[in-house]
Structure 1
Amino acid sequence: MNKPSSFVKGEAFEEYVRKHIFPKSHYDLVHRTHDYNSNNGDYIESSLKPDFKFRDKKNGQEFYVEVKWRKGAYNRNNKIEWCNAYQLKRYKAIDRNESKVFIVLGFGDKPTEPKEIVLFPMNSCNYTGLYDSFLDKYSFYVDKPVFSGYLWKLK
């Protein structure tokens, strides 16, 4: 079965995020959504949740992380479209009613070697398209783990 290249890139960036941004040494993996092959024959409803649910080893807090890879395509309004309206509504509802949601956006040519990382809390975002001014505010280090103290201060 041939996986669309967008799924291949997305899954590669998810692996990168788990290894480098939310590593096992700092965060326990509580949940991970199913991959393309698992969902292709019989869609698993929990796949509507963000990609990961982690537990912070420092404070025990659980939270979701949605991971998105973009090659860097801006639309005609000079914005990066990071999700669609349905996804935005779903992530905001999970963030509000269930558990905090963080978004990790990766940019560059290769999802295993991103040129830029953006990490923001869902409650700071109300749009599917993001301008550079928003992205710059939440720019994060490439190849560095996010520390608990930094994560929980994001607004």
Structure 2
Amino acid sequence: MLPISLIILGGILLIAGIALLLRTPKAESLNQIIQAVKADGILTPKEEQLIREVAQSEGKNADATIAQIRKELEESEEESESELIDVNQKAGLDFEKFVVQKFDKKYFQIRNWAGDKYVEGRYADTTTQPDIQLSLKLGANSYPFAVECKWRSEPKGDFIQFTEEDQLNRYKIFAKQENYPVFIVLGIGGKPSSPAELYILPMQDLNKPVLHRAALGKYRKNVDKDFFFDQESKALN
């Protein structure tokens, strides 16, 4: 009886193995389709139909599978947008650090270094102000001014937009209210921490947030030299 039992058991295991083997390629096929959709970032109608057919053939809930794929695609898109924002914020901060290092700490004091943090339209008052507010310290005298830092990687064409219209207006209002000069320090090309070109734009010279490259020439600054504020002419050089 024992040999017969072993034969029967072996037959059952063989049938189960064959059934499992037949099901495995389909599982791999469904997984491959899902991975391809995630890699592409888009679920097309054709892919959705294929997923439904394979999922149903495996006895899986096709609607739940597709809903999960869509959810993961949405989350992936949000993460990509967050990464882009993080990259832009890092570039801005790196350029601000580059600019700050151009002011000799023996003569210049940082009075305020703004951070662009906000949520649901709520932000600190300093978010609408220029990035860095400084003072030139000469003995007992102090001469305040402010700097807005802008870096552009590779502007195309002959015109360079260095800020937005509303930002330009806010900086002009700020300069008038505080009664001291505001400058836009513009970096172009290279890296935020080491721009290829550097310009200092006095706010009183700016009527639009865009300048032609030819008009930038007179504002160009040697990227290797430090900045200095002339308290008499109120010019940043």
The amino acid across from 2:87 in the alignment is S
How far did 1:34 drift? 1.5
Whether the aligned pair in 2 keeps the contact of 1:74 and 1:81 (CA below 8 Å) is no
The amino acid across from 1:46 in the alignment is T
Query: In the alignment, does 2:183 pair up with 1:97?
Result: no
**How high is the sequence identity, in percent, across the aligned residues?**
32
Structure 2 partner of 1:16: 98
Write the distance in 2 (CA, Å) between the matches of 1:43 and 1:12.
22
Write the distance in 1 (CA, Å) between the matches of 2:197 and 2:147.
17
Write the distance in 2 (CA, Å) between the matches of 1:114 and 1:32.
21
Structure 1 partner of 2:50: none
TM-score by length of 1: 0.85
1:26–1:6 Cα change, 3 Å: same
Query: In the alignment, does 2:212 pair up with 1:131?
Result: yes
- Rg comparison, structure with higher value: 2
How far did 1:23 drift? 3.1
SS in structure 1 at match of 2:216: helix
Structure 1 partner of 2:137: 57
Write the distance in 2 (CA, Å) between the matches of 1:132 and 1:144.
22
The runs of 5 or more residues in structure 1 that have no matched partner are: none
Structure 1 partner of 2:126: 46
Identify which of 168, 171, 176 aligns with 1:88. Answer: 168
How far did 1:16 drift? 0.5
Write the distance in 2 (CA, Å) between the matches of 1:12 and 1:127.
26
CA RMSD across the alignment: 2.1
Write the distance in 1 (CA, Å) between the matches of 2:119 and 2:90.
14
How far did 1:152 drift? 2.4
Please identify which structure carries the higher helix content: 2
Write the distance in 1 (CA, Å) between the matches of 2:193 and 2:94.
6
How far did 1:62 drift? 0.6
The amino acid across from 1:74 in the alignment is K
How far did 1:5 drift? 1.7
SS in structure 2 at match of 1:31: strand
Write the distance in 2 (CA, Å) between the matches of 1:149 and 1:122.
16
